[in-house]
Structure 1
Amino acid sequence: MKVFECGHCNYPLFFENHQCENCGHLCGYWDSDRIMLTFDPLSTSFISDREKIEFKYCKNKEYEVCNWLLEKNDKHDYCPACQLNRTIPNLSDKENFPKWKNLEVAKHRLIYQLQKMGLELRSKMVNNEGFCFDFIVKMNNPNIMTGHASGVITILLQEADSVLREQIRKQLQEPYRSLIGHLRHEVGHYFWERLISNNKEVLRAFRTIFGNEKMDYSNALQLYYKVGAPDNWQDSFISKYATSHPWEDWAETWAHYLHIMDMVETAHFFGLKVNSNEISKNMRIEATFDPYHVKDFDTIINNCIPLSFAVNSINRAMGVPDVYPFVITPGVVKKITFIHELLWPKR
């Protein structure tokens, strides 16, 4: 994620800010230019401080779950990110609202990233080949699960409960479980259908690297939950779950590609360096580039590995879990490179 600043006082802003904490000016994200715009809080219209253009907020601003902007005369009431919502939870239930808000924070970060990758984002409510989000409560229905099916990305509201999510993480013996991780994983299934399934040449390359997705999916998952991952799974897979089926290997690898790109982009905009004389040369970095503008993935991964080691070390100093508790082996790099090269022409 890039670093934003107030257009009135130049104070740094988080992506989710609705107001500058320094000068009090209102702010909102303008996705067409990927910048944060600011407005005089005393004005009756939203004319941006620097651009002097009039905007309106996404309709979900009334719930304080979205700060994205639309041009004043835009025919839409909702921003491009919120237009992808097909189902939101019942907001009359007060327990649902904070969970939905957490989901929206993660979803908006996901859409920011997909836009920067140059991917076509179409709402399934308008185009059947698009995708949409269902944020729903399980309601004791065992058939409702977090997942993806034909462009519909379903996220159970319980995943936004940090306590319950941690319980599930421990139960499944996962090193990492987050809302942004769920969203990145599930949207990966959607883009497999869009980018690979109907392209014979790309599909052949996919099968060479990830395996044949025609193996029975249900049986493969049952086998995985029965016997688990093979002993040497880290040689070729980013997670144990990735070993269950080529589709899940793709989705897990896709999610980690997005993790890596976001980490390195953030490091770049903060100008982070890992360059101490106390560490080996191969663990030194200087984040001088935006990874979305770099074609050679080796350059990106050579910065990501020492960066993740550095931030993990800071977390351990504070007695909290690693930010990125994964090992990126050469076999995994090969798979992530496949994704990077597949997406590069879309930049």
Structure 2
Amino acid sequence: MRAFNCDHCGHLVFFESTSCVHCGCSLTFVPEQMRMAALAPSGSTPDMWVPQSPTLQQTTPLLRMCHNRSSQGAACNFTTDADGSQPYCVSCRQTRWLPNFENPQNLLRANQLENAKRYLFYTLSCLQLTSLQGLPAPVFDFLEDQPGQTPVMTGHASGTITLNVAEADDDERARRRLAMFEPYRTLLGHLRHESGHFFWDVLIKDSAWLPRFRALFGDERQDYDQALQAHYARGPAGPDGWQQQHISAYAATHPWEDWAETWAHYLHTMDLVETAASYRVQLRLPGHLASWPPMEDPFTPIQTPFEHILQQCVPLTLMLNSLNRSLGHSDAYPFAPSPGAVTKLQFVHEVVMEHRMRWAATH
């Protein structure tokens, strides 16, 4: 996630910001333009806002806030269609079910879930992979376990991503991570993984990429339920030697899970490098005479080789993990992709870049 500035006073603001702490302007994120905008109320039109930036005023003289900006549970800072045809923004419209707000805990849960979903939307939009670029979008169900009923399972099926809202509780998420021997478990990580299943259907299924996918990841036609049963019977540590070809132990379960895990880590990598680039990070590892040049935005130009992106990411993750350890925390990115996993990450990059180039050629 890149850093943003208030376009009224120039002060640093963030993707989640709703007001500038320096000048006091209300802030909103305009998804169609991928920018933060400082606003003033429109005196003539109710529920409408005027951008403070003269440049933005020329193209978008009035903006309307997402209905969820002030409603309980979402705290959305996106804009929506100015004509009033859509009360909810492009991200909030993807949510079909939220948990029952009669439980006060669910208000905080919904806020965290929707914020993570907006982060996912941002990265996908940078890659031209959202409904703004004419692609189908997943539907999200954020559900709560009910007494006497089967527990809600996080997963993807037929375009719908389901997440158990208990994952928004830090203690519950940590408990599940330890029980599953997982080195990493976050809300954003869940959403990125499940979006991988969705985009397998969009980008790989029945496409010219399918033969190469099967050569790298395996044949997805093998029985998925049996593969899951074998994984849980074997234990979460995974099969011997999984590290040589997979990004995680769970990725070794089935080709679909291998793709989803690889996809999630691809999004991790792109977002991490973009964040570093926006802060103009430049690194030199201890013992190395040569320093890396300042990080470059991985989303531009479109033709950026993944090898170059990965070369930037490696020293970055080493520094990030060291900073976490100095504060007494576990590694922020506890992974060391093997050559086999890197080859799969490169394949994901090729698929995404081919899609982006086709989209750019028509827009």
TM-score norm. by structure 1 comes to 0.93
% same residue = 39
SS in 2 for 1:340: helix
Report the RMSD for the aligned CA atoms in angstroms: 2.0
1:135 aligns with 2:145: no
Superposed displacement of residue 275, structure 1: 2.0
SS in 1 for 2:140: strand
Contact 1:54 1:71 in 2 (8 A): no
Residue 292 to residue 158, structure 1, CA distance change in 2 (3 Å): same
Q: Residue deviations 1:70-98, cap 9 Å, x none? A: 34225211111011011111122211100
Superposed displacement of residue 232, structure 1: 1.3
1:292 aligns with 2:295: no
SS in 2 for 1:221: helix
Q: Which residue of 1 aligns with 2:30?
A: 30
Choose the corresponding residue for 2:125, options 111, 115, 124: 115
Unaligned stretches of 5+ residues in structure 1? none
Residue 74 to residue 286, structure 1, CA distance change in 2 (3 Å): farther
Q: Which residue of 1 aligns with 2:39?
A: 39
Contact 2:41 2:50 in 1 (8 A): no
Q: Which residue of 2 aligns with 1:255?
A: 264
Alignment of 1:69-108 (within 5 A): 69-108=79-118
SS in 2 for 1:183: helix
Q: Residue deviations 1:250-290, cap 9 Å, x none? A: 000000000000000000101001125x33258x4334421
The total of aligned residue pairs comes to: 341
Contact 1:308 1:324 in 2 (8 A): yes
Instruction: Please give the alpha-carbon distance, in whole angstroms, between the structure 1 residues aligned to 2:131 and 2:265.
Output: 20
Q: Which residue of 1 aligns with 2:344?
A: 335
Instruction: Please give the alpha-carbon distance, in whole angstroms, between the structure 2 residues aligned to 1:215 and 1:49.
Output: 56
Instruction: Please give the alpha-carbon distance, in whole angstroms, between the structure 2 residues aligned to 1:247 and 1:180.
Output: 19
Instruction: Please give the alpha-carbon distance, in whole angstroms, between the structure 2 residues aligned to 1:72 and 1:202.
Output: 39
Contact 1:264 1:287 in 2 (8 A): no
Instruction: Please give the alpha-carbon distance, in whole angstroms, between the structure 2 residues aligned to 1:39 and 1:223.
Output: 55
Instruction: Please give the alpha-carbon distance, in whole angstroms, between the structure 2 residues aligned to 1:180 and 1:286.
Output: 29
Q: Which residue of 2 aligns with 1:49?
A: 52
Choose the corresponding residue for 2:218, options 211, 215, 236: 211
Counterpart of 2:184, as a letter, is: Y
Contact 2:145 2:152 in 1 (8 A): yes
Counterpart of 1:253, as a letter, is: T
Greater alpha carbon shift after TM alignment, 67-76 vs 245-254: 67-76
Superposed displacement of residue 143, structure 1: 5.3
Superposed displacement of residue 194, structure 1: 1.1
Counterpart of 1:150, as a letter, is: S
SS in 2 for 1:33: coil
1:196 aligns with 2:204: yes
Instruction: Please give the alpha-carbon distance, in whole angstroms, between the structure 1 residues aligned to 2:333 and 2:289.
Output: 21
Instruction: Please give the alpha-carbon distance, in whole angstroms, between the structure 2 residues aligned to 1:144 and 1:205.
Output: 34
Contact 2:69 2:77 in 1 (8 A): yes
Instruction: Please give the alpha-carbon distance, in whole angstroms, between the structure 1 residues aligned to 2:355 and 2:263.
Output: 16
Contact 1:65 1:101 in 2 (8 A): yes
Greater alpha carbon shift after TM alignment, 50-59 vs 139-148: 139-148
Instruction: Please give the alpha-carbon distance, in whole angstroms, between the structure 1 residues aligned to 2:288 and 2:257.
Output: 35
Q: Which residue of 2 aligns with 1:227?
A: 234
Alignment of 1:170-185 (within 5 A): 170-185=178-193
Contact 1:24 1:41 in 2 (8 A): no
Q: Residue deviations 1:158-181, cap 9 Å, x none? A: 000011100100000100000000
Instruction: Please give the alpha-carbon distance, in whole angstroms, between the structure 2 residues aligned to 1:112 and 1:130.
Output: 13
TM-score norm. by structure 2 comes to 0.89
Q: Which residue of 2 aligns with 1:9?
A: 9
SS in 1 for 2:146: coil
Instruction: Please give the alpha-carbon distance, in whole angstroms, between the structure 2 residues aligned to 1:42 and 1:119.
Output: 33
Residue 281 to residue 188, structure 1, CA distance change in 2 (3 Å): farther
SS in 2 for 1:32: coil
Q: Which residue of 2 aligns with 1:159?
A: 167
Instruction: Please give the alpha-carbon distance, in whole angstroms, between the structure 2 residues aligned to 1:224 and 1:87.
Output: 30
Counterpart of 1:218, as a letter, is: D
Counterpart of 1:177, as a letter, is: R
Contact 1:30 1:36 in 2 (8 A): yes
1:269 aligns with 2:278: yes
Contact 2:25 2:40 in 1 (8 A): yes
SS in 2 for 1:291: coil
